[in-house]
Chains A and B, each alone.
Chain A
């Protein structure tokens, strides 16, 4: 799995956040199935040559978000169900993701149509990936 998680230490995005996003993506696309074990903090830290505390932080955030579950003594696993967020929280998370994307598109001078087209294209890609993985 570490092969499909890439860390770019010259990116402005903190490494823990790159791991969080990368794992979230693998789970969303179905590359990592519900109930599947994720590597231990130590193994992933060694594979990526990073501080285990950094991996830990990403895992902690994903666990808090309900994407991963910790079974004591067994390890960390992809949650069985996609995390059900309370309605208000769900709106907030979607909204802040949309904010970031709209802000990025605007700062690049993209038109609304261009931005929406990219979103639709990626949406379709991710659904395809998910189908292939099921």
Chain B
């Protein structure tokens, strides 16, 4: 008997660009990250949100191997971010929160310096990006504006065509024009090369349009980790022309009311499991209206109560 078995092609499953498992980190007795797990899939944009001090920067520092985790692990492109740091970083672009480069070097010198470090460096592309941003090549880094510094570092971070880009709030403190330029460049990068991006940010408006998935950190815990679209689908503000009574909350129970806010013009309920089929009959009976919420509004509802 002569049979041929067609073995299924065995493709090496490529690891997710970022994989963080049960990662904890402490400064002395103060735990700043508590068993954080998240995965960033290839070609996706993951937005990491949180108030100042929530642990975003600590998480990024652990991820980049600047500090070892107390427990758990982080992997970059399948490599351990602490023990295999150097090998991993060669394939990653990083834009830090504080634009940091030798202040006396100009961009031409910085570009030449980086070119020596990476075999795959593309000088033409870097200079083109700097020109698009309008960052002068011959001004010392220390003399550039905050926006230009961020833009210069983004141009340099993309110089070796990294598979993964890690951005720690690069648009913080930038004006609208500089912010837009940064997003334009990122969108171009996503379109041309499908780079995977982890983006820690406070810029909800910009993030909302490009993120695929959102993680929200508060007090060192990642308590939201879901696709942006799902998050936006399940949150609604519900208002009524008549004043909503506490008993109405029971009626809305299946939609999981998050709380009632008394406003000058009545009351408002935020629900976290909105479902139009449940809501439509209630809306007609109680004269209610549901309004979609922006990512910023959702964020404030989710973490706002920790403010105190």
- A-side residues, CB < 8 A to B, are 7, 9-12, 14-15, 41-42, 45-46, 48-53, 103, 106-107, 109
Q: Would you list which residues of chain B between 152 and 193 have a CB under 8 Å from chain A? A: 180, 183-184, 187-188, 190-192
The 8 Å CB contact of B187, one of A12, A50, A106, is A50
Instruction: Give the complex CA separation of A15 and B44 in angstroms.
Output: 16
Q: Which of B183, B184, B232 contacts A12 (CB 8 A)?
A: B232
Chain B residues near A42: list those with CB within 8 A. Answer: 188, 191-192
Whether a CB of chain A sits under 8 angstroms from the CB of B293 is yes
Nearest to B235 among chain A residues (CB) is A12
The number of chain B residues touching the other chain, given as a range, is 20 to 34
Shortest CB distance B132–A (Å)? 11
CB-nearest residue of chain A relative to B287? A109
- B40 → chain A closest CB, angstroms: 14
Residues on B with beta carbons closer than 8 Å to the beta carbon of A53: 43-44, 190, 212
Task: Return 9 A-B CB contacts under 8 Å, by A number.
Answer: A7-B209, A9-B294, A10-B292, A12-B236, A42-B188, A49-B180, A49-B206, A50-B210, A51-B212
Residue of A nearest to B208 (CB): A9
- Contact in complex: B233, A51 (CB < 8 Å): no
The CA-CA distance from A41 to B190 in the complex, in Å, is 11
Residue of B nearest to A8 (CB): B292
Query: Looking across the interface, which residue of chain B has its beta carbon closest to that of A103?
Result: B280
B45 within 8 A of A: yes
* Residue B306 interfacial (CB < 8 Å): no
Contacts of A15 in B (CB 8 A): 209
Bound CA–CA A50/B212 (angstroms): 11
Whether the Cβ atoms of B190 and A52 lie closer than 8 Å is yes
Known: A12-B292, A48-B209, A51-B187. 13 other contacts (CB 8 A): A10-B292, A11-B292, A14-B232, A45-B187, A45-B190, A46-B191, A49-B209, A52-B187, A53-B43, A53-B44, A53-B190, A107-B280, A107-B284
Among B105-164, those with CB < 8 Å from A are none
Cross-interface CB contact of B184 among A7, A10, A49, A107, cutoff 8 Å:
A49
Chain B at the A interface: SS class = helix
| Chain A residue, CB-CB nearest to B290 | A12
Check B283 for interface membership: any CB of A closer than 8 A: yes
Report the Cα distance A10→B297, complex, angstroms: 10
Q: Which residue of B lies closest to A12 (CB)?
A: B292
In the complex, how many angstroms separate the beta carbon of A96 from the nearest chain B beta carbon? Answer: 15
Whether A46 contacts B188 in the complex (CB less than 8 A), given A12-B292, A107-B280, A109-B284, comes out as yes
Query: What 9 A-B pairs come out closest when comparing CB atoms?
Result: A52-B191, A12-B292, A42-B191, A51-B210, A50-B209, A10-B294, A107-B280, A9-B208, A45-B187
- CA–CA, A101 to B229, complex, Å? 23
Contact, CB under 8 Å: B184 / A46: yes
Q: Which residues of A contact B188 (CB under 8 A)?
A: 42, 46
Q: A49-B206, A107-B283, A109-B284 are in contact. Are A41 and B229 (CB under 8 A)?
A: no
Interface contact B184-A9, CB-CB below 8 Å:
no
Is B245 on the interface with A (CB-CB < 8 A)?
Answer: no
In the complex, A51 Cα to B183 Cα: how many Å?
Answer: 10
> Does B305 sit at the interface, judged by CB under 8 A?
no
CA distance A9 to B210 in the complex (A): 11
Contact present for B209 and A9 (CB under 8 Å): yes
B293 touches A10 (CB 8 A): yes
Inter-subunit contact B192/A49 (CB<8 Å)? no
Q: In the complex the two chains form, is A46's CB within 8 Å of B293's CB?
A: no
CA distance A106 to B280 in the complex (A): 9
- Chain A contacts of B209 at CB under 8 A? 7, 9, 15, 48-51
In the assembled complex, how far is the CB of residue B181 from the closest CB belonging to chain A, in whole angstroms? 11
B residues less than 8 Å from A103 (CB atoms): 280
A4 CB to closest chain B CB, in angstroms? 19
A45 contact set on B, CB distance < 8 A: 187, 190-191
**With A42-B191, A50-B187 in contact, is A14–B205 under 8 Å at CB?**
no
